[in-house]
């Protein structure tokens, strides 16, 4: 009996009878289905949703945190009109959490200098001030948002210019809260770009 080179799936020999074709197809289809399911169950990132937006003041992912995943990653690439800082809020349903429990410790590097700061506000904010000539590339990690306790947030940002700067923000929402979504908010003006939401398959 012939088999495929990579996965060893059974395929008909050239001499097999035509009347056995249906059985051969079922055998091959079952093998493909089993292998595909096993690969899907491996640890890795699973794309949940991509949002493309133009000239908006905020972007929300509603009811995207589920029991299927514990941790999430967001990849943000966008340009801005005017200038802005990026603010992040957890949400439940269609309501953003605005309580003053977002705590962050930041580390910023620009040219030859570094600075650090700590703040607690009503949002988790990147204070990397972007202008309309600075494309922004951000990566956000969200840890345990569906648990009724604190949610970890880790944000890294990069400004693409001739004088690039990078920033890291560590902290999260420090009070008990169950989030099933998240919002990205411009402090002023508007954003244009894409945001991808991934779940960590474990």
Give the range among 35-49, 123-137, 182-196 with minimum mean pLDDT: 35-49
Tell me the range of 40-44, 102-106, 110-114 where mean pLDDT is highest: 102-106
Q: Which of 167, 126, 141 is nearest to 74 (CA)?
A: 141
Greater confidence (67 vs 19) lies with: 67
Are 53 and 98 in a shared domain?
A: yes
Q: Residue holding tokens 């992040």?
A: 88
Are 15 and 84 in a shared domain?
A: no
Are 21 and 118 in a shared domain?
A: no
| pLDDT > 70 fraction of the chain, expressed in percent and rounded | 83
The size of the chain, in residues, is 202
Q: Which of 57, 81, 61, 59 is nearest to 135 (CA)?
A: 81
Are 29 and 100 in a shared domain?
A: no
CATH number at residue 143: 2.60.120
3-state SS class at 33? helix
What average pLDDT is seen over the chain?
86
Are 49 and 35 in a shared domain?
A: no
What is the domain extent for residue 13? 2-40
pLDDT bin (cut points 50, 70, 90) of residue 108 is confident
pLDDT bin (cut points 50, 70, 90) of residue 162 is low
Are 21 and 48 in a shared domain?
A: no
Cβ atoms of 154 and 140 closer than 8 Å: yes
Cβ atoms of 201 and 37 closer than 8 Å: no
Give the range among 36-40, 42-46, 152-156, 189-193 with minimum mean pLDDT: 36-40
């Amino acid at each position: 009996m012939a088999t495929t080179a990579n996965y060893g799936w059974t395929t008909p020999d050239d001499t097999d009878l035509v009347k056995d074709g249906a059985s051969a197809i079922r055998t091959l289809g079952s093998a493909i289905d089993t292998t595909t399911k096993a690969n899907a169950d491996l640890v890795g990132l699973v794309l949940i949703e991509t949002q493309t937006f133009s000239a908006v003041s905020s972007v929300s992912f509603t009811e995207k945190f589920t029991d299927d995943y514990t941790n999430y990653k967001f990849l943000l690439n966008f340009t801005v009109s005017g200038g802005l800082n990026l603010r992040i809020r957890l949400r439940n349903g269609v309501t953003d959490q605005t309580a003053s429990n977002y705590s962050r410790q930041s580390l910023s590097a620009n040219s030859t200098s570094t600075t650090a700061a700590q703040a607690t506000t009503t949002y988790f904010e990147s204070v990397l001030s972007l202008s309309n000539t600075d494309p922004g590339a951000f990566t956000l990690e969200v840890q345990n948002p569906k648990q009724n306790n604190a949610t970890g947030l880790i944000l890294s940002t990069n400004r693409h210019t001739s004088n690039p700067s990078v920033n890291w923000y560590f902290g999260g929402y420090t009070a008990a809260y169950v989030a099933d979504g998240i919002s990205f908010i411009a402090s002023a003006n508007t954003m244009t770009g894409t945001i991808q939401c991934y779940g960590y398959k474990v």
